[in-house]
Amino acid sequence: MKTGKLKTAKLAFLVSLALTVAAQAQETPKGDAKNGEMLFKRNGCYQCHGTQGAGASTGPAIGQKPTAIPWVVFSNEVRNPVDQMPPYSSKVVSDQELADIFAYTLTFPGPVTKADAKGLLDR
């Protein structure tokens, strides 16, 4: 990663962190997870983030409990991405549709823990 991109990424992280703190004061909009699932697929989100938000070589994990991304960070990243993700303006994905996609990401299972993996190996 070039120095300029690294500085931009660090700045984006700090902004996201500040927005996370602000998110505690901002309510998450009500979304329809069922519609969000359809939109997640239709808009190709799964291609980079995986069908269950676990991420892939082309995109990070999103929405995984217990470390789900706060609404304000999620919406800011979708509207104004820092990295290779294309921006999804409100003309492409409405605010309600974005809330629906966010609600869908909250249904994703959490990552497999070491205890889970050990339990699977012990069978």
Tens of pLDDT, residue by residue over 13-72, are 666 656 655 544 468 899 999 999 999 999 999 999 999 888 888 888 887 666 678 899
pLDDT in tens, 60-97: 888 766 667 889 999 999 999 988 899 999 999 999 99
**Which is the CATH superfamily of the domain at 3-111?**
Cytochrome c-like domain (1.10.760.10)
Which residue type, as a one-letter code, is found at position 76? N
Angle formed by the axes of helices 95-105 and 71-79, to 10°?
120
Global pTM value: 0.70
Q: Are 46 and 57 in contact (CB under 8 A)?
A: no
DSSP letter for 92, please: T
